[in-house]
């Protein structure tokens, strides 16, 4: 499916929307951080699913291509993009000398209604998920930790899991891929 703007829906929803929101708020955040001397924090919710993406990571030339499309890989692509965005944003914020951090995280497998459109899977997850999936408050813990905890002050460009710094995939650490995604994202949010 495509978004209203004609972009693959998972990429648009999971990544491009938050990218655009961050861009729209960035100047206000920079001004606030400078005036208040309080560190700003940008937190991108990603997923361990970022490891399961297309072989090229981000399909820049095929973002809307139906041939070879996989909903699982498209999800992984969008979550890889969240991590790459935080890494590149962190680099740029440091370069600007502004006291704002940017990190990404995997909240964990959470018992939510994400499979609501797949009756069998939704029923299965709710039946046995209570035994091994995180509750919603447990799933929110890492997000809250990265956004608020004093121990994360000054930490930027990292990927967190279970309230600890974790190691993402090698693609998620690719500086050139992050820069390319940054430029590509601006072409999507500022079409000519």
By annotation, the residues acting in catalysis are: 69
Q: Estimate to the nearest angstrom the gap between the alpha carbon of 55 and the chain centroid.
A: 19
Tracing tokens 């940008």 back to the chain, one arrives at 42
Among 75, 105, 104, 76, smallest CA distance to 90 is for 104
Strands (E), 12-134: 40-45, 100-106
User: What SS3 class is residue 177?
Assistant: helix
- What is the rounded distance in angstroms from the CA atom of residue 82 to the CA atom of residue 63? 15
Burial class (CB in 10 A: 0-12, 13-18, 19+), 52: middle
State how far the Cα of 174 lies from the Cα of 178, in Å rounded to an integer.
Answer: 6
């Amino acid at each position: 499916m495509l978004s209203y703007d004609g972009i693959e829906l998972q990429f648009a929803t999971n990544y491009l929307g938050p990218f655009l929101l961050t861009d729209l708020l960035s100047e206000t955040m920079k001004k606030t951080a400078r005036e208040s001397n309080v560190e700003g924090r940008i937190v991108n919710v990603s997923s361990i699913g970022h490891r399961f993406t297309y072989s090229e990571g981000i399909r820049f030339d095929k973002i809307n291509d139906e041939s070879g499309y996989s909903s699982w890989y498209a999800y992984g692509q969008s979550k890889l993009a969240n991590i790459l965005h935080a890494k590149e944003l962190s680099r740029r914020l440091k370069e600007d000398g502004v006291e704002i951090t940017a990190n990404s995280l995997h909240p964990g497998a959470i018992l939510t209604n994400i499979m609501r459109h797949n009756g069998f899977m939704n029923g299965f997850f709710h039946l046995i998920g209570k035994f091994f999936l995180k509750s919603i408050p447990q799933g929110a813990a890492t997000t809250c930790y990265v956004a608020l905890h004093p121990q994360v002050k000054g930490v930027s460009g990292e990927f967190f899991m279970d309230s600890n710094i974790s190691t993402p995939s090698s693609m998620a650490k690719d500086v050139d891929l992050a820069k390319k995604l940054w430029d590509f994202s601006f072409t999507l949010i500022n079409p000519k």
